[in-house]
Amino acid sequence: MMRKRTDETPKSKKLKPLQGQTLDLSIISLDEDGYGIADHADTKIRVNGAFPGEQVRARITFSGQRDTFADTIKILRGSPERLPEPPCSKGTACDGCQLIQMKYQAQLDWKKGLVEATLRRYPSLRETTIRPVLAAKKPLGYRTTAKLMISGKFAAPNIGIYRRNSHQVIDIGNCPLHHPLINQIVAAVREGIRKGKVPIYNPKTRNGILRYLVIRVSEQEDRAMAVFVTSERSFNEIHHLTKHLQKAVPQVMVVAQSVNNSTGNVILGDREYFVTKRQTLTEKIGDIRFSVSPRSFFQVNNDGARTIYEQVRQWAALTGSERVVDVYCGVGGISLFLAGNSHEIIGIEVVAAAVADAEKNASMNGIRNCRFEAGDAARQLEDISAEAVAVDVVVLNPPRKGCDEEVLRSCANLKPRRIIYVSCSPTTLARDLNLLAGLGYRALEVQPVDMFPQTSHVENVALLASETRLS
């Protein structure tokens, strides 16, 4: 029996969106990264710049086995939550701030819903109080740090961020999220590259010099730092570029060159060569001063950091006699904020350079009741437990991946009366709060903080108390 020949392909493969294709889509929801979700031919499409309830015309920018992305090119039916005049014209192409076309109160409501939905998946967290999101004092112009890629030719340089799923650099122009000084510096560097004909690094050929531009701003001083990341030493080009930059933007007080000839995604090289005599800026959060160097980890939103630190201080409820352990302390921000109300602060951080910065910051502020330890968090916590001294409060401020279970168990073994967990990821926060519930610590309240307006990110501060003290 002869089998019938057919040239037809399965419907799902035939209709799968292809890169460059334009489609009219209905947006049904918003995912945790702020992309509008549309279903098309059994494919979930993540649409940048589109909101639930909208119908949009979108162009497929990436079509892979797992993910398909698109950019909105026309709004066919808009949402009432959409701004009539967004503050940025690049919002549908640049996914650095996915919610910038959404009204601000709608952003806050969506973020609270995101936190609630994530935490309520766990039965142990269904009674936890989730407060309304604390709004940012400055929804625009709040970022004081920028790490930017440089591409193209010196006659027409692009300075900005990578388009998702590619190494194509989107020139950010006058970014509304950046502190005004950052935008001034970017414009001056772009002009300086043109005038000085500074060769831009090409990752394919590995020719050229200039790779990245890192900018930090001190709002306290109204001063700035610029770091030129280059593929080789190139003193002459950077010297002239620095002269041009400082003449155009006199607030630039620190300029450094970092040499990075690696092929990976790490931005800074192994060391900095300072072009200026001054090598650091001084920033202030509340009453605490911080020394900021090219490598210092420092919050990019000072007002947001202060809001979080004050929330931690309020929930710690210190009277001056307590011992506090600050895990993942970084450069000592939370530790120094709590020092004035505690007997002793012990800060733990795996990055030795951050510990050195924390010690320097404590000395700068005349704070003597903080000690900082470099090393693995779980091991350091075990050492503290072996000291057999009472710990009253533990503060956890881990990276996005959250805490290892061993760290959480070590924290619980200290038997503090309270644990305060600062998180940049609702997903890992919920996971870890559920683990802590199994270790005898109930999550009483969560305070979301809008530290990164116009983006899908939301910070959270969680208060946990020992079940034995609650009963």
Same domain, 25 and 126: no
Residue 10 lies in a domain: no
Same domain, 173 and 281: yes
pLDDT over 80 (residue 165): no
Instruction: Give the domain-ending residue among 250, 270, 292.
Output: 292
Same domain, 52 and 127: no
Same domain, 269 and 361: no
Same domain, 287 and 152: yes
pLDDT of residue 9: 45
Q: Averaged over 83-100, what is the pLDDT?
A: 84
- Which of 39-48, 165-174, 246-255, 438-447 is predicted least confidently? 165-174
Do the Cβ atoms of 225 and 253 come closer than 8 Å? yes
pLDDT digits (tens, 9 = 90+) for 349-362: 999 999 999 999 99
Same domain, 52 and 182: no
For residues 290 and 216, give the distance between their C-alpha atoms in angstroms, rounded to a whole number: 13
Confidence of residue 95 (pLDDT cuts 50, 70, 90): confident
For residues 445 and 218, give the distance between their C-alpha atoms in angstroms, rounded to a whole number: 33
Instruction: Give the domain-ending residue among 268, 292, 316.
Output: 292
Helix axes 426-438, 104-119, angle to 10 degrees: 30
Residue 102 lies in a domain: no
Give the distance from CA 367 to its chain's centroid.
Answer: 28
Same domain, 276 and 322: no
pLDDT of residue 368: 97
Same domain, 326 and 236: no
Q: Which 3 state secondary structure label does DSSP give 210?
A: strand
Residue with tokens 């999101």: 133
pTM for the model: 0.92
Same domain, 282 and 247: yes
| CATH number, domain containing residue 36 | 2.40.50.140
Residue 42 lies in a domain: yes
pLDDT over 50 (residue 1): no
Do the Cβ atoms of 119 and 446 come closer than 8 Å? yes
For residues 74 and 58, give the distance between their C-alpha atoms in angstroms, rounded to a whole number: 7
pLDDT of residue 184: 98
| CATH number, domain containing residue 317 | 3.40.50.150
> Among candidates 275, 35, 329, which has minimal Cα distance to 165?
35
Residue 7 lies in a domain: no
Domain containing 429: what range? 109-138+301-470
pLDDT over 60 (residue 389): yes
Instruction: Give the domain-ending residue among 228, 263, 292.
Output: 292
Residue 142, Cβ neighbours under 10 Å: how many? Answer: 23
Confidence of residue 298 (pLDDT cuts 50, 70, 90): confident
Write the DSSP symbol of residue 131. Answer: P
The C-alpha angle 304, 307, 308, rounded to 5 degrees, equals 90
Here the tokens at position 107 are 């952003």
Same domain, 348 and 448: yes
Do the Cβ atoms of 256 and 274 come closer than 8 Å? yes
Confidence of residue 166 (pLDDT cuts 50, 70, 90): confident
Q: Averaged over 33-39, what is the pLDDT?
A: 95
Catalytically active residues, by annotation: 424
| CATH number, domain containing residue 200 | 2.40.50.1070
pLDDT digits (tens, 9 = 90+) for 131-162: 999 999 999 999 999 999 999 999 999 999 98
Q: Is 222 left (phi over 0), alpha (psi -120 to 50) or beta?
A: left
Count how many domains the chain has.
3
**Whole-number mean pLDDT of the chain?**
93
pLDDT digits (tens, 9 = 90+) for 185-215: 999 999 999 999 999 999 889 999 999 999 9
For residues 338 and 320, give the distance between their C-alpha atoms in angstroms, rounded to a whole number: 10
Residue 91 lies in a domain: no
Here the tokens at position 357 are 């910065």
For residues 33 and 99, give the distance between their C-alpha atoms in angstroms, rounded to a whole number: 10
Residue 325 lies in a domain: yes
Q: What single string gives the DSSP state of each residue in 251-291?
A: TEEEEEEEE---SSS--S-S-EEESSS---EEEEETTEEEE
